[in-house]
Amino acid sequence: MLNPSEKNRLIAGVDEAGRGPWAGPVMAAAVILDPLKPIAGLADSKTLSEKKREALAITIKAQALSWCVAEASVEEIDQLNILQATLLAMQRALAGLPIPADEALIDGNRLPSLTIPASAIVKGDSKVAAISAASILAKVARDQLMLDYSRQFPDFAFHQHKGYGTAQHSAELAAFGVLAVHRKSFKPIAKLVNACG
What gap in Å lies between CA 116 and CA 100, rounded to an integer? 10
Within 10 angstroms of residue 95's Cβ, the number of other Cβ atoms is 14
What gap in Å lies between CA 92 and CA 48, rounded to an integer? 26
The side-by-side arrangement of strands in the sheet containing 118-121 is: 66-72, 26-32, 11-17, 103-107, 118-121
Question: Does 195 score more than 90 pLDDT?
Answer: no
What gap in Å lies between CA 98 and CA 76, rounded to an integer? 24
Within 10 angstroms of residue 173's Cβ, the number of other Cβ atoms is 21
The total of structural domains in the chain comes to: 1
What gap in Å lies between CA 72 and CA 49, rounded to an integer? 25
Residues 1-34 pLDDT 10s: 333 345 689 999 999 999 999 999 999 999 999 9
Residues 50-80 pLDDT 10s: 999 999 999 999 999 999 999 999 999 999 9
Q: What is the mean predicted confidence (pLDDT) over 83-92?
A: 98
Q: What percent of the chain has pLDDT over 70?
A: 95
Sign of CA pseudo-dihedral 95, 35, 2, 120: negative
Contact 29, 138 (CB under 8 A): yes
Q: Could you tell me the residue range of the domain that residue 182 belongs to?
A: 4-195
Query: What confidence score (pLDDT) does residue 155 get?
Result: 97
Going from the C-alpha of 161 to that of each of 22, 29, 105, 146, 149, the distances in angstroms are 10, 22, 30, 9, 11
Question: Does 90 score more than 50 pLDDT?
Answer: yes
Instruction: Identify the band that residue 136 occupies on the pLDDT scale cut at 50, 70 and 90.
Output: very high
Query: What confidence score (pLDDT) does residue 2 get?
Result: 38
Question: Does 100 score more than 80 pLDDT?
Answer: yes
CATH number at residue 9: 3.30.420.10
Residues 142-159 pLDDT 10s: 999 999 999 999 999 999
Contact 36, 116 (CB under 8 A): no
Query: What confidence score (pLDDT) does residue 193 get?
Result: 80
Query: What confidence score (pLDDT) does residue 1 get?
Result: 30
What gap in Å lies between CA 84 and CA 86, rounded to an integer? 5
